[in-house]
């Protein structure tokens, strides 16, 4: 059965993006290397940056590969990173540090609260060994949108390198990379640009990137070497996901035609608004309050009905054309519904209608 994904990625893509993957390319071919150069250049422009100070590196693998590439490549043996976290993906940064033996401190807030810039400043002032600060922009554990501008300001005021995981926000939320002092921004092909899985990309300030040419802990995830090879003629160091690359170029074309990040952000925000309002009419409450709710994904608390079962609801909704996400919180029962991808307001209205039918059907069966 064909269905739409209401998830934070992989997400529903257009038939035209999928159609690009019907062609095969050789990684050594000049035409293919030209496509790689084009994508890097377009991502830089999309971020509002110029090539004199910033660059783009494409990295095989999922978004986590991109995050690990940055951490393991740019934090040297004498470095230490402060991870400001409030969910599973901040915790994953800590796991990356453990595996790579990178000194770190984790400042953790509850999943429904954003990391505080004031607390970040306090930690930095108390530990001069910290050289880097890292934070997730949109924490899809809950759908909360963190204040990276304020955290970045205190990091840069103290001369720290600032790393942002913008996996689920880049492409739908405006991020003034240079103005907010971001040195490394990581995202993925299969998120808001609406490509398919296969690679991540890193928007990097050149100065800290080139300073890290001898610090990588990994061969395949060596960010500097990947960049240096791509700079020569567009060649990836090792076999690249050619079909995903072709699909991504088409996805960039379609983002441009939609009106760029502002237009896509408006569509996603409208999707998210209609979803939350529709679910509220059914008695479904969000875990995150409106002040920090992202337009990417919303987390809903289980209804108070003691007999509610997520798997039953999941199958009912999937049977009618949509796939939603289970919750990722460990102590609270929740589920999640995404609003990104090739999804439109009519989809949100439809899924709320399906949810209403499910709840009414279940109530009749109980009676």
The predicted-structure confidence for 11-25, as pLDDT tens digits, reads as follows 999 999 999 999 999
Residue for token digits 């963190």? Answer: 146
What confidence score (pLDDT) does residue 362 get? Answer: 79
Most confident of 69-73, 302-306, 357-361: 69-73
Spatial contact of 273 and 143, defined as CB atoms under 8 Å apart = no
Question: What's the mean pLDDT in 121-125?
Answer: 98
pLDDT tens string 63-109:
999 999 999 999 999 999 999 999 999 999 999 999 999 999 999 99
d(CA 280, CA 355): 11
What confidence score (pLDDT) does residue 367 get? Answer: 64
Q: Is 306's pLDDT higher than 60?
A: no
For the chain, what percent of residues have pLDDT higher than 70?
99
pLDDT classification of 364: cutoffs 50, 70, 90: confident
Q: Is 366's pLDDT higher than 80?
A: no
Q: What is the overall mean pLDDT for the chain?
A: 96
Give the DSSP H or E segment for 199: strand 199-205
d(CA 268, CA 12): 13
d(CA 360, CA 276): 19
Distance of CA 65 to the CA centre of its chain: 12
d(CA 209, CA 343): 36
Domains parsed from the chain with CATH numbers: 15-256 (3.40.640.10), 260-366 (3.90.1150.10)
How many of the other CB atoms lie within 10 Å of CB of 304?
Answer: 8
Dmax over CA atoms of the chain, in Å, equals 70
């Amino acid at each position: 059965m064909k269905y739409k994904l209401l998830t934070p990625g992989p997400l529903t893509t257009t038939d035209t993006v999928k159609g690009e993957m019907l062609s095969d390319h050789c990684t050594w071919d000049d035409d293919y290397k030209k496509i790689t150069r084009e994508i890097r250049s377009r991502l830089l422009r999309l971020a509002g940056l110029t090539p004199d100070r910033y660059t783009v590196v494409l990295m095989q693998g999922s978004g986590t590969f991109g995050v690990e590439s940055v951490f393991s490549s740019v934090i040297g043996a004498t470095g230490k990173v402060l991870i400001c976290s409030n969910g599973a993906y901040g915790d994953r940064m800590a796991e990356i540090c453990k595996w790579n033996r990178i000194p770190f401190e984790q400042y953790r807030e509850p999943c429904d609260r954003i990391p505080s810039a004031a607390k970040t400043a306090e930690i930095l002032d108390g530990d001069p060994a910290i050289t880097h600060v890292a934070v997730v922009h949109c924490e899809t554990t809950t759908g909360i949108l963190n204040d990276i501008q304020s955290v970045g300001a205190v990091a840069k005021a103290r001369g720290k390198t600032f790393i942002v995981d913008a996996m689920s926000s880049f492409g739908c939320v405006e991020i003034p990379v240079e103005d907010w002092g971001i040195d490394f921004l990581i995202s993925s092909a299969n998120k808001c640009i609406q490509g398919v899985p296969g690679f991540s990309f890193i928007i990097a300030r050149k100065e800290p990137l080139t300073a890290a040419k001898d610090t990588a802990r990994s061969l395949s995830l060596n960010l500097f070497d990947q960049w240096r090879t791509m700079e020569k003629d567009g060649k990836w160091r090792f076999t690249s996901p050619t079909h995903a690359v072709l699909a991504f170029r088409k996805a960039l074309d379609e983002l441009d035609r939609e009106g760029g990040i502002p237009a896509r952000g408006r569509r996603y925000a409208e999707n998210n608004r209609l979803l939350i309002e529709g679910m509220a009419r059914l008695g479904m409450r969000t875990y995150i309050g409106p002040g920090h709710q992202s337009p990417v994904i919303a987390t809903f608390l289980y209804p108070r009905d003691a007999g509610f079962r997520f798997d039953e609801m999941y199958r009912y909704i999937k049977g009618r054309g949509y796939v939603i996400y289970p919750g990722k919180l460990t102590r609270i029962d929740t589920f999640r519904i995404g609003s990104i991808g090739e999804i439109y307001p009519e989809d949100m209205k439809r899924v709320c209608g399906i949810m209403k039918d499910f709840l009414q059907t279940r109530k009749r069966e109980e009676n």
